[in-house]
Amino acid sequence: MRVLLEESAQRAIAYLEGLEDRSVAPSPEAVAKLVALDEPLPDGLTTAEAVLKQLDEIGSPATMAMAGSRFFGFIIGGALPVTLAANWLAGAWDQNSAFYNVTPATAQMEKVALGWLLDLFGLPSDCGGGFVTGATVANFTALAAARHAVLARAGWDVEAEGLIGAPPLTVVVGEEAHSTLFKALGLVGLGRKRVVRVPADRQGRMRADALPPLSGPTIVCAQAGNLHSGAYDPLAEICDWAHDAGAWVHVDGAFGLWAAAVPSLAHLTPGLTEADSWATDFHKWLNVPYDSGLALVRDRDALRAAMSITAEYLPTDSPVRNPFDFTPEVSRRARGVEVWAALRYLGRAGVIELIERTCRHARRFAAGLQEAGYEVLNDVALNQVAVTFGDAAMTTRTIAAIQDDGTCWCGPTVWQGRTAMRISVSSWATTDEDVERSLAAMVRIARETAGR
């Protein structure tokens, strides 16, 4: 075992150290070699060393360098070394982190991390929290709690009776809510389409002047951090309007919730802490390994009522916090350990510096691209940049050429009818030099593509 694990660590270290000098996207040749994995199920044992060798020799070259410093696609961080190390150790512990009494170390780390997070975000210390796989499932989890609470107020026990025959429940969303929010709404039985949509402004924010009148059980889904612009819905106005009508406000803050930890970004988040529930990711801006996100609910009992197994309508009291009372899963890996490690390592100042640094990198990208004559579509208030290189066809060709070049990687999008390239700076590893090198490559490739 020792030889195998040491070899695994050595291969992983060599992989990470090699990222600087390789193309961010895997080469077509490396991807083509993946066919070697298409073999029949072996009849018998293979040595563990041979399995590891195949994994590394075929798998490693065909990976996208998301762990590196110049991947700017989606909204993706790279794992901080301390969180990868924590992941390795927690993997060795192999704890099924459902019950405190069975896995006290990992349950306690999760509980401590939850307390630190509530402190960082300026939320009440008694909020409920579920460590889930990502923002999609965090939205799902928080919406299940919301569904419980608003229907309970209308005299309906949704966990026991389901939604058939339940009092009608109105769901309000912004025009630019993230696509995964609609998936979450479908999963909790509220329907992907059965929603009232509030029009958005040029930055993708819900328009405060277009909020509809509300009545009856209602859940309002707001957004902290639009994936194209980074913009925040007007959360203070939304919370006042919704709470006056007795509605529940849920905030999808997959990356945007992290601004709540940063005093210099406080102007973006007024009203954020007034909401009833929040969803966020750790694998985006906190830079922990996948898969890792958090559902937070002000009314801890509502979350527990929606998630616990033992008594849907009357959660059992326990002197300890059992993680499975707050998550859709029962058996689960100890993902809270990596979150604890990231926070213990960074501290408050480190989290603030990480967020501020990546926002500064995004501003530098936007300024450099504008200086070169390209149109940036959003106000770069956070870590997102949406840029065009001319018309849709030219922008699409330029993005493909940037991806092929391999210096960095950014993805395409269509936002408010415009084809654009999204640059999302979320990784701890990105340096000023990475930004300058990537910017130079983008401008050179855009000019070459236009000249062709």
Ligand X SMILES: Cc1ncc(COP(=O)(O)O)c(C=O)c1O
**Of these, 69, 87, 106, 180, which contacts ligand X (CB under 6 A)?**
180
Angstrom distance (rounded) from CA 265 to CA 219: 27
φ, ψ for residue 439, nearest 5 deg:
-60, -45
**Of these, 252, 299, 325, 338, which contacts ligand X (CB under 6 A)?**
252
Q: What is the DSSP string of 327-359?
A: SS-SS---THHHHHHHHHHHHHHHHHHHHHHHH
Angle 408-410-413 from CA coordinates, rounded to 5°: 170
Stretch that binds ligand X, among 201-209, 219-227, 415-423, 439-447 (CB under 6 A): 219-227
Stretch that binds ligand X, among 35-43, 101-109, 132-140, 204-212 (CB under 6 A): 132-140
279 vs 439, beta carbon nearer ligand X: 279
Is 227 one of the binding residues for ligand X (CB under 6 A)? Answer: yes
Centre a 10 Å sphere on the Cβ of residue 402 and count the other Cβ atoms it contains: 25
Is 254 one of the binding residues for ligand X (CB under 6 A)? Answer: yes
Is 204 one of the binding residues for ligand X (CB under 6 A)? Answer: no
Computed on alpha carbons and rounded to an integer, the radius of gyration of the chain in Å comes to 23
**Of these, 23, 87, 106, 136, which contacts ligand X (CB under 6 A)?**
136
Instruction: Give yes or no for a contact between 363 and 230, defined as CB atoms under 8 angstroms apart.
Output: no
Closest C-alpha among 173, 183, 175, 170 to residue 139: 183
Taking each helix axis from N to C end, the angle separating 81-93 and 104-121, rounded to the nearest 10 degrees, works out to: 150
Residue 187 corresponds to which tokens in the numbers above? 């999963």
Is 281 one of the binding residues for ligand X (CB under 6 A)? Answer: yes
Residue number with the smallest Cβ distance to ligand X: 134
Q: Please, what's the b/e burial string for 290-299 (b: 16 or more CB within 10 A of its CB; e: otherwise)?
A: bebbbbbbbb
Place of tokens 């401008």: 443
Angle 222-140-195 from CA coordinates, rounded to 5°: 50
286 vs 446, beta carbon nearer ligand X: 286
Stretch that binds ligand X, among 92-100, 238-246, 251-259, 434-442 (CB under 6 A): 251-259
CB of 289 to ligand X, least distance (A): 13
CB of 113 to ligand X, least distance (A): 18
CB of 60 to ligand X, least distance (A): 24
174 vs 271, beta carbon nearer ligand X: 174
256 vs 323, beta carbon nearer ligand X: 256
**Of these, 225, 315, 336, 368, which contacts ligand X (CB under 6 A)?**
225
Centre a 10 Å sphere on the Cβ of residue 380 and count the other Cβ atoms it contains: 22
Is 378 one of the binding residues for ligand X (CB under 6 A)? Answer: no
Is 362 one of the binding residues for ligand X (CB under 6 A)? Answer: no
Instruction: Give yes or no for a contact between 236 and 271, defined as CB atoms under 8 angstroms apart.
Output: yes
Is 275 one of the binding residues for ligand X (CB under 6 A)? Answer: no
Is 407 one of the binding residues for ligand X (CB under 6 A)? Answer: no
**Of these, 289, 293, 315, 323, which contacts ligand X (CB under 6 A)?**
293
Stretch that binds ligand X, among 15-23, 83-91, 220-228, 270-278 (CB under 6 A): 220-228
Is 134 one of the binding residues for ligand X (CB under 6 A)? Answer: yes
Closest C-alpha among 248, 218, 193, 229 to residue 386: 229
Site of interaction with ligand X (CB under 6 A): 74-75, 134-136, 178, 180, 223, 225, 227, 252, 254-255, 281, 293
